[in-house]
Amino acid sequence: MDVILLNEIRLPAHRPARDVLEGPRVRLEPVMRSRHLHDLFVTGHEGEAGKRVWDWLGYGPFVDEAAMGEWLDQCSTAADPLFFAIVDRSDNRAKGMCSFLRIAPEQGTIEIGHIWFSPGLQKTASATEGLFLLMDEAMSVLGYRRLEWKCNAENHASREAALRLGFTFEGIFRQHLVVKGRNRDTAWFSILDNEWPVRRKALLSWLAPENFDSDGRQKRSLERSQRSNA
């Protein structure tokens, strides 16, 4: 593979592999129907809170476990998006999904998306760690120069999450997509390679065990960590 240097930019970046990404709290496993289906179906369809995880996605909820299994079969063989199950290391159960997509090694750009967390995983350090594992793999290991995050412009929780993680808001693509029969304006966010070391330091500082008390409550917010490391 030829390496092209453009103004000291090293291209291409490396294409992500179907590797397990390990953290202290969670493990990202390439999604497999046989391994993850039951857990993902239960956590993604349990009560109204479970079904709401699909509100902003282009698929789901599923009519039954078999239907979700057919979808997971497609996910498990796709190279782009490259899907991962988020496995809670405390009980070894899959409690959400995320992916790399829009993978362009020749341009050094990559996106993280198709993110959904079970109600029990939402707003936890484990959820943040799962996204950090993807972000760090893309920027620190694979050598991408631009990491993207996109969401429905009306999905305020996703927009707030992007900013909390250190992404910069870039603007709105109006009527960008049609999702579940509705126009979708898309909000765009990014982190660049020269920004990543500071963002990484803030995330690692926030995720450190000493930042949480014995009940798992944070002592310092991630927003504060981002500001102190800016």
Please list the rounded mean pLDDT of every run of 10 residues in the chain (230 residues): 60 97 99 98 94 96 98 98 98 98 98 98 97 99 98 98 98 97 97 98 96 92 82
CATH number for the domain that contains residue 71:
3.40.630.30
pLDDT (0 to 100) of residue 220: 92
Strand-pairing partners, residue 10, are 5
Domain membership of residue 52 as a residue range:
14-228
Within-domain flag for 117: yes
pLDDT (0 to 100) of residue 228: 77
- Angle, helix 156-165 to helix 125-136, in steps of 10 degrees: 60
Stated pTM of the model: 0.94
pLDDT (0 to 100) of residue 52: 94
**Strands (E) located in 168-214:** 168-179, 182-192
Compute CA 128 distance to the chain's CA centroid, rounded to the nearest angstrom: 9
Within-domain flag for 199: yes
Q: Residues with Cβ < 8 Å from 207, sequence gap 6 or more?
A: 125, 128, 129, 132
- Report how far apart the first and last C-alpha atoms of the chain are (Å, whole number): 36
* SS3 call for 47: helix
Within-domain flag for 9: no
* SS3 call for 192: strand
Within-domain flag for 7: no
